[in-house]
Amino acid sequence: MFFLLFIFFIVSCFFMFFLVSKNVLSLLLILEYFMLLIYLMLCTFVFLTSSNMMMGFYYLTVVVCDSSLGLSVLVLLVRSHGKDFLLFNL
């Protein structure tokens, strides 16, 4: 039951990611939401299998580094271009 709910949230996250692709800050928030969903799935898996909980802490460390890197790229983009919109010329 939980996995069906997680799959629904992940699919909705992908739809939001592709629909809101103009603003970098919105994309970063959606990616953080996706990372939180993966962490919840990992915690559920660890709880069901009675595994080692340290894997969750390692994952949270990587997520924090990823979010700080994304925020620094956003600050660089705003300082260099003056806005945080993405322009895709396809």
Range of the domain at 64: 2-81
Flag whether pLDDT at 3 surpasses 80: no
**Domain count across the chain:** 1
Inside any domain, residue 89: no
Three-class secondary structure of residue 11 per DSSP: helix
Inside any domain, residue 19: yes
Inside any domain, residue 60: yes
Q: What confidence tens digit (pLDDT) does each residue in 56-86 have?
A: 788 888 888 888 888 888 788 777 777 666 6
Give pLDDT, residue 84: 64
Inside any domain, residue 90: no
Q: Are 86 and 21 in contact (CB under 8 A)?
A: yes
Give pLDDT, residue 87: 61
Look up the CATH number of the domain holding residue 8. Answer: 1.10.287
State the pTM of this model. 0.70
Greatest alpha-carbon pair distance for the chain in Å reads: 49
